[in-house]
Chains A and B, each alone.
Chain A
Amino acid sequence: MDFSGFLLMRDEISLVALILILLLYDLFAPAKARKAFQPVACLLFVVQIAITLLPTAADHAFGGMYVNTPVASVVKTLMSAGTLLVFLFSKKWLEEKHEIAQGEFYFLTLSTLLGMYFMVSSGHFLMFYLGIELASIPLACLVAFSKKDIFSAEAGAKFILNASFASGISLFGMSLLYGGTGTLYFSDMPIALTGTPLQIAGMILFATGLFFKMSLIPYHSWTADVYQGAPTQVSAYLSVVSKTAAAVTLFTIFFKVFGVMAESWKPVLYIIIILSITIANVFAIRQKNIKRFLAYSSISQAGYIVLGVMAASPQGLTGVVYYMMVYMFANIAAFGVAALVERQCGNTEISSYNGLYKTNPWLSVLMMFALFSLAGIPPFAGFFSKFFIFASAVQQGYYILVLIALLNTIISLYYYLLIVRAMFITPNDNPLPNFRSDNYSRIAMVVCFFGIVLSGIVSFFYNKFDEMAKESMEVCEYSMPKATDGTANGIATAAFDGQTAEAVSGDASAATATTAITATAPWPSTQE
């Protein structure tokens, strides 16, 4: 038996190890030592993150059930980093409110993270299904974490029931796909996909799970309620890490598996993008609660992310990953500040932010930067990520779509500025008094701050991701036995030609389209 596959799964294994260590520590450590549980957990988590940073080979294991690519690896690192930031923001809250349940919070969170790792690296629908369920079931516990809080419980119920519902539909879709193709391997399916109605139905129903996770309209309704009801830290986690996993997986599956049926899913994504961005934006304008507000903002951000999926090109993938990173810093910062303010004043109303700058300048500035980044204002990173996502979509000829998205950025700017206005301009005789946040939150805030400011201007990240995305694509091509003469490629070509025909006739886009076509090749076939 070949155990080399486990080496490839280094990230997951280290995470499992971390979970186990923490579990044992929480169970058996003396009460005194348990005081240090959180610092130890965070430190160990840092080590785990360091492990994920080690370079990996792009390869598959377990007969193609598990696939590792540079992009998957870096996405895992990002998700871990996001989780760590959430942990840092949670420390004080856990100590104060959930002294006993500290450990649970960590296990549950890390379990969902593990599920997301598997989602990102899955090469088979079963693997994917297990990953997504692992990522959502413990999450429901997290949402309902504040046991005494009816809001939290309600949010938990809404989340778990809706999530199960969505995953039921998704599963039904998978069964149709299975029935239509006879395989559940990502790498094998494209060859069998011919665009029959059954397959299309399977695909669309299957996608429900991912759309639900990304909270795209019309799969979004739970988002605002859950974000509002869940503990703020959990909302942050939901909005960032969980969404990252879903987005990257969405890209992978739509690009690798359903690439041949691009004709069928592109109109769907087109509509979903427009709906998500526009409706979420108009909803956000009206919100009085910061968490609901951020929920709607994150729905519309998800819409922008899907633009990258829509582009279905290496640049699109880079765009998605980069966008997720930038979004992570900004959104965690926003939620973090919201959490701190919430702890201080006991509510999450936007009106409590009135005049915040006078008493808590640093928090306000961080919040403002985060919001500007979300709104896509330079020199903050959000500007760059938006630009690249839009560029990749325009490259494929989606001018109208991008125009709609761009017009929506104005609306989003409006509501982000409403918060800025509350903090900086609206006069308030009794603003929230000045308070000291704990050191863990501070570290997190500093990281977010630099993330927001630097991850755009410093082009290192984007360029690195770009390299990785290209490499991931090349690897696929390299280890692809059947794709070169398969019909799948032909269909993919046709699909992309259709796209480029309406797009620019310039050489550059034609060239990139060609790259895209070659990259559309399925995953390595692994059936022995």
Chain B
Amino acid sequence: MEYTLWILILPLLGFLSLGLLGTRLKGKSAGYIGTALLGLTALLSYFTAWQYFSMDRVDGIRQALTPVNWTWMRFTESLHIDLGILLDPISVMMLVVISTVSLMVHIYSLGYMDGEKGFQRYYAFLGLFTFSMCGLVVATNIFQMYIFWELVGVSSYLLIGFYYTKPEAVSASKKAFIVTRFADMFFLMGILLLSYFTKTFDFGQLCDPDNPIFASAAGKTFLGGAVLSWATALIFIGAAGKSAMFPLHIWLPDAMEGPTPVSALIHAATMVVAGVYLVARLFPVYFFFTPEVLHGIAYVAAFTALYAAIVACVQTDIKRVLAFSTISQIGFMLVALGVSSMGTVEADGLESHEGLGYMASMFHLFTHAMFKALLFLGAGAIIHTVHSNEMSRMGGLRKQMPITHITFLVACLAIAGIPPFSGFFSKDEILTATFMFKPWLGVVMTFIAALTAFYMFRLYYNIFWGKPAQHDHPLHEAPKNMTGPLVFLALVTVVAGFIPFGKFVSSTGAAYIIHLDMKVAITSVVIALISILIAWKLYCKGTSTVPAKMAGFFGPLYTAAKHRFYIDEVYQFITHKIIFRCVSQPLAWFDRHIIDGILNGIGWITCRGSLAFRWMQTGQLQSYALLIILGALILLCISLFC
């Protein structure tokens, strides 16, 4: 299956050709070239998926394939970076997701970005991103993943800062890059630690728990902790950075300064789930050797999900709401992974499942990618028309934008977990897995699901219902090349829930039958419906005074949530006040004044030194003679007594 290489080459080709020759091309044709290449990529991905999943299992287990693996750089005998393609269920699934969403975004952008300056640049960067993201998911070893991890970071940086004349976009892009970079540093440290003790980067070896490398690493400690715990925890910090887990989530809401299709592609569907993918990729390591870290992940993720959901309830910028919703949903995925197991687990009152969480997480990743991209693209269509991100500038748009309205509603229902839309199925699995792990966590997650339904419908009603805002230009439905992707994604969202996902993806590679846990399903649907009802009551007319009252009732909590619990301010404080003021500036000062001052001082003393010997040179000829005779006598003494 060497042809899978072309999945990487085609977008890269797009990047290079548009990047180098872009200025020679007309904007539109650049877009068409990019889209055409991406179309081919998508076809290849589908073909790959079809071919891969139709292959025979060995002992009931899907085999991982490495059609290409080429040593790129050799560190030591055992440690070398390979560049290759690893095909296994999750990477193939990710390829499909990436190429689908990317293709949709490419098509969508033809309309959305129409008339923008730098069209070529935009498509070039999209190509770069797609290339990097595909490279990331097919990585055969952890270092390859790190390489592409960095590359997606850069493409994200470039795309967020696409409107580089806007200061907000510039600072958002900077923030995104630096925060993720900060996390990547821990990822790198984790890799160093892991590879030092296991002597390999290769996923194939790392994911095999029986491999002797672990036996040797198991007892070792580093700085007082078990090596593997250190390593996996550090790697998770890297994952948390990309996947915007608390407290490293701060870059994601700001990243919405980028063009909306970019947000859809990178900051909703693909790049931000890289962290989830990474944990899933190393799942055996986490599960078998460092279960405490895995559980830690679950708690962090649950907290993040709750936090983001609360914040999402009070945001007024529609993209911000979606951003926090994304954070929350990624929290769901990671919770699922965190609570998952690979063996058989007996839990009270609930059916036993093998690796249900793992499957659920991947499933949710898949469905979420589709409906969140749809939401973002829909939001983009609205912003395209309204020229604003604020809810207050919207309202009653369902008449002007029927297609957008319907597709948006589909997505909202999906994310709220209403059957038969895809989100219902995946979220239900996650909740089930959570209940199995710790019932109280399940309750929390259900609550978050309710919150999700509430804020999504708050959004929905505020945009499409409520009181229309005044506009000085006519509002209209988006052009076809924008609505097309919306419709396509909506269709996918509708049907995706019925995919027998467990047959394709599972923690061990063995086939796995999904069956709904009715108790959990019914509870969650009922709660979701209640939430939607509340949202309808509060926001449908746009005249209700209850929201304001509630804001008053919750007072400090409301204000805090509106300010995202001041996390950004804390960061601002740490970076500007502590790092810049208290570290960098003193260091720079120290360098200029102390170190340099010492050197200048030596110079000064030397220059001044002659004044100390001025008495030698009075101009008086007898003093010279005195010096001579005294000198001679002193030297004589020295020579006599030394």
A interface residues (Cβ-Cβ under 8 A, vs B): 157-158, 161-162, 165-166, 169, 197, 200-201, 203-205, 208, 212, 217-219, 221-222, 224-225, 264-265, 267-268, 271-272, 279, 281-283, 285-286, 411, 414
Number of interface residues of B (CB under 8 A): 26
Q: In the complex the two chains form, what is the Cα distance from A225 to B625 in whole Å?
A: 14
Choose from A200, A222, A285, A411 the contact partner of B624 (Cβ within 8 Å): A222
The answer to whether A282 and B610 touch (CB under 8 A), given A162-B621, A221-B616, A221-B617, is yes
Question: Is A268 a contact partner of B628 (Cβ separation < 8 A)?
Answer: no
CB distance from B631 to the nearest CB of A (A): 3
The answer to whether A162 and B617 touch (CB under 8 A), given A201-B640, A272-B635, A285-B606, is no
Q: Which residues of A contact B616 (CB under 8 A)?
A: 217-218, 221, 279
Q: Which residues of A contact B611 (CB under 8 A)?
A: 286
Q: In the complex the two chains form, what is the Cα distance from A76 to B622 in whole Å?
A: 34
Closest 5 CB pairs of A and B: A218-B631, A221-B624, A282-B609, A282-B610, A204-B636
Q: In the complex the two chains form, what is the Cα distance from A282 to B632 in whole Å?
A: 22
Question: Is A219 a contact partner of B607 (Cβ separation < 8 A)?
Answer: no
CB distance from B548 to the nearest CB of A (A): 72
Question: Is B635 a contact partner of A271 (Cβ separation < 8 A)?
Answer: yes
Whether B638 is near chain A, meaning CB under 8 Å from some CB there, is: yes
CB distance from A4 to the nearest CB of B (A): 40
Select from chain A the residue with minimum beta-carbon distance to B637.
A204
Q: Which residues of A contact B631 (CB under 8 A)?
A: 217-219
Question: Is B636 a contact partner of A283 (Cβ separation < 8 A)?
Answer: no
Whether B613 is near chain A, meaning CB under 8 Å from some CB there, is: yes
B interface residues (Cβ-Cβ under 8 A, vs A): 603, 606-607, 609-611, 613, 616-617, 619, 621, 623-625, 627-632, 635-636, 638-640, 642
Select from chain A the residue with minimum beta-carbon distance to B628.
A219
Q: Which residues of B contact A279 (CB under 8 A)?
A: 610, 613, 616
Question: Is A162 a contact partner of B625 (Cβ separation < 8 A)?
Answer: yes
The answer to whether A282 and B606 touch (CB under 8 A), given A212-B628, A218-B630, A221-B617, is yes
Q: In the complex the two chains form, what is the Cα distance from A247 to B628 in whole Å?
A: 18
Question: Is A162 a contact partner of B624 (Cβ separation < 8 A)?
Answer: yes
Select from chain A the residue with minimum beta-carbon distance to B634.
A218
Q: In the complex the two chains form, what is the Cα distance from A264 to B640 in whole Å?
A: 7
Q: A165-B628, A219-B631, A279-B610 are in contact. List 18 more A-B contacts (CB 8 A).
A: A162-B624, A162-B625, A162-B628, A204-B639, A208-B628, A208-B632, A218-B616, A218-B631, A221-B623, A225-B617, A264-B639, A267-B638, A268-B635, A268-B639, A271-B638, A282-B607, A286-B610, A411-B606
Select from chain B the residue with minimum beta-carbon distance to A166.
B628
Question: Is B632 a contact partner of A205 (Cβ separation < 8 A)?
Answer: yes
Q: Which residues of B contact A225 (CB under 8 A)?
A: 617, 619
Q: In the complex the two chains form, what is the Cα distance from A265 to B636 in whole Å?
A: 9
Q: In the complex the two chains form, what is the Cα distance from A286 to B640 in whole Å?
A: 36
Select from chain A the residue with minimum beta-carbon distance to B618.
A221
Choose from A169, A265, A267, A286 the contact partner of B628 (Cβ within 8 Å): A169
The answer to whether A283 and B628 touch (CB under 8 A), given A162-B621, A200-B639, A265-B639, is no
Question: Is A158 a contact partner of B621 (Cβ separation < 8 A)?
Answer: yes
Q: In the complex the two chains form, what is the Cα distance from A414 to B630 in whole Å?
A: 31
- A/B interface sample: 6 pairs, CB < 8 A: A161-B625, A200-B636, A221-B624, A222-B621, A225-B619, A285-B606
Select from chain A the residue with minimum beta-carbon distance to B611.
A286
CB distance from B629 to the nearest CB of A (A): 7
Q: In the complex the two chains form, what is the Cα distance from A205 to B630 in whole Å?
A: 11
Q: In the complex the two chains form, what is the Cα distance from A200 to B625 in whole Å?
A: 21
Question: Is B640 a contact partner of A197 (Cβ separation < 8 A)?
Answer: yes
Question: Is A267 a contact partner of B642 (Cβ separation < 8 A)?
Answer: yes
CB distance from B563 to the nearest CB of A (A): 57
Select from chain A the residue with minimum beta-carbon distance to B608.
A282
Question: Is A157 a contact partner of B621 (Cβ separation < 8 A)?
Answer: yes
CB distance from A409 to the nearest CB of B (A): 13
Q: In the complex the two chains form, what is the Cα distance from A205 to B639 in whole Å?
A: 11
CB distance from A253 to the nearest CB of B (A): 15
Select from chain A the residue with minimum beta-carbon distance to B625.
A165
Q: In the complex the two chains form, what is the Cα distance from A283 to B609 in whole Å?
A: 8
Q: In the complex the two chains form, what is the Cα distance from A265 to B628 in whole Å?
A: 17
Select from chain A the residue with minimum beta-carbon distance to B616.
A221
CB distance from B340 to the nearest CB of A (A): 68
The answer to whether A218 and B628 touch (CB under 8 A), given A205-B636, A268-B638, A411-B606, is yes
Q: Which residues of B contact A204 (CB under 8 A)?
A: 632, 635-636, 639
CB distance from A11 to the nearest CB of B (A): 32
CB distance from B278 to the nearest CB of A (A): 55
Q: Which residues of B contact A285 (CB under 8 A)?
A: 606-607, 610
Select from chain B the residue with minimum beta-carbon distance to A279.
B613
Choose from B606, B624, B632, B640 the contact partner of A158 (Cβ within 8 Å): B624
Q: Which residues of A contact B607 (CB under 8 A)?
A: 282, 285-286
CB distance from B606 to the nearest CB of A (A): 6
Q: Which residues of B contact A169 (CB under 8 A)?
A: 628-629, 632
Q: In the complex the two chains form, what is the Cα distance from A222 to B619 in whole Å?
A: 8
Q: In the complex the two chains form, what is the Cα distance from A219 to B623 in whole Å?
A: 11
Q: In the complex the two chains form, what is the Cα distance from A222 to B621 in whole Å?
A: 7
Q: Which residues of A contact B623 (CB under 8 A)?
A: 221
Choose from A161, A166, A219, A411 the contact partner of B621 (Cβ within 8 Å): A161
CB distance from A223 to the nearest CB of B (A): 9
Q: In the complex the two chains form, what is the Cα distance from A64 to B26 in whole Å?
A: 100
Q: In the complex the two chains form, what is the Cα distance from A218 to B625 in whole Å?
A: 10
Question: Is B636 a contact partner of A201 (Cβ separation < 8 A)?
Answer: yes
CB distance from B468 to the nearest CB of A (A): 72
Q: In the complex the two chains form, what is the Cα distance from A333 to B596 in whole Å?
A: 36
Q: Which residues of B contact A281 (CB under 8 A)?
A: 606
Choose from A157, A212, A267, A283 the contact partner of B639 (Cβ within 8 Å): A267
Q: Which residues of A contact B610 (CB under 8 A)?
A: 279, 282-283, 285-286
Select from chain A the residue with minimum beta-carbon distance to B622.
A161
Select from chain B the residue with minimum beta-carbon distance to A165.
B625
Q: In the complex the two chains form, what is the Cα distance from A279 to B628 in whole Å?
A: 15
Q: In the complex the two chains form, what is the Cα distance from A224 to B632 in whole Å?
A: 20
The answer to whether A221 and B635 touch (CB under 8 A), given A162-B621, A283-B613, A286-B610, is no
Q: In the complex the two chains form, what is the Cα distance from A414 to B605 in whole Å?
A: 14
Q: Which one of A157, A161, A219 has the greatest number of beta carbons of chain B within 10 Å?
A: A219
CB distance from B601 to the nearest CB of A (A): 15
CB distance from A499 to the nearest CB of B (A): 15
CB distance from B179 to the nearest CB of A (A): 47
Select from chain B the residue with minimum beta-carbon distance to A411.
B606
Q: Which residues of A contact B632 (CB under 8 A)?
A: 169, 204-205, 208, 219
Q: Which one of B606, B623, B624, B640 has the greatest number of beta carbons of chain A within 10 Å?
A: B624
CB distance from B640 to the nearest CB of A (A): 6
Question: Is B617 a contact partner of A224 (Cβ separation < 8 A)?
Answer: yes
Select from chain B the residue with minimum beta-carbon distance to A206.
B632
Q: Which residues of B contact A219 (CB under 8 A)?
A: 627-628, 631-632
CB distance from A450 to the nearest CB of B (A): 34
Choose from A157, A162, A200 the contact partner of B640 (Cβ within 8 Å): A200
Q: In the complex the two chains form, what is the Cα distance from A203 to B627 in whole Å?
A: 18
CB distance from B166 to the nearest CB of A (A): 45
Q: In the complex the two chains form, what is the Cα distance from A298 to B631 in whole Å?
A: 20
Q: Which residues of B contact A205 (CB under 8 A)?
A: 632, 636
Q: In the complex the two chains form, what is the Cα distance from A225 to B627 in whole Å?
A: 15
Q: Which residues of B contact A208 (CB under 8 A)?
A: 628, 632
CB distance from A170 to the nearest CB of B (A): 9
Q: In the complex the two chains form, what is the Cα distance from A222 to B620 in whole Å?
A: 9
Q: Which residues of B contact A165 (CB under 8 A)?
A: 625, 628-629
Q: Which residues of A contact B628 (CB under 8 A)?
A: 162, 165-166, 169, 208, 212, 218-219, 221
